[in-house]
Structure formats: structure tokens, C-alpha cells
Amino acid sequence: MRCGINRQIFSWLILMGFTLMGAFIAERAESSILIILLICSTVAIKGVVVIEHLMGLRFAMPRIRWMMLSYFFILPSMIALSVLFPEVLVELTSL
């Protein structure tokens, strides 16, 4: 039981660290490709930590686990592509 509590606290500390790092970067840094990729990577990592450790899906059925994990890999990728290549997105969605 004690090990589970320590793992949860460690997971929360990781999430808080990534959140504070993202907030600090958002306030201080100029928008660039590196910053966008860094923020999208932290979103994906935070999603994996939540799914694996806090939701307890580490040992769940593989299909359910991969459906949840795919959300945190697809969404940040789509955000990065829309920020990095807005002209292409406008061309694809305009009538």
C-alpha cells in the first residue's frame, strides 16, 4: 500500500513539474518550432502519466489502453501541425 501512495505522489509531482515548466515557457519564450514541439511533447507525456499511473490503465485490456494513449499522441500532433503549417490548414478547409 505504501508503494502505491508513493507512486501516486511521484506521478503528481511529475505532472506539476511539467505544468509549471509549460507555464513558465509560455510566459517567457517567443513562439518557435522548438517551443511548440516541446509543449506538445509535454502534453503527450502528461497524458501517458495520467493514463498509466493515475487511471490505472497500465495493465488494462490493450485495446482500451491504446485507444486512450492514441488520443494523447494524435491531439498534440494535430495542434503542432496546425500551428506550424496554418496556410496548409486554411487551404484544406476553405471552400
Q: What is the pLDDT of residues 75-88, one digit of tens each?
A: 999 988 888 898 98
Residue type at position 21: M
DSSP 31: P
Spatial separation of the C-alpha atoms in residues 71 and 52, rounded to whole Å: 13
Alpha-carbon torsion angle 58, 62, 64, 67, nearest 10: 100
Spatial separation of the C-alpha atoms in residues 46 and 88, rounded to whole Å: 28
Q: Give the model confidence (pLDDT) of 28-74 as tens digits.
A: 888 888 888 888 899 999 999 998 888 888 888 889 889 988 998 99
Spatial separation of the C-alpha atoms in residues 27 and 1, rounded to whole Å: 39
Check if the beta carbon of residue 15 is closer than 8 Å to that of residue 43. no
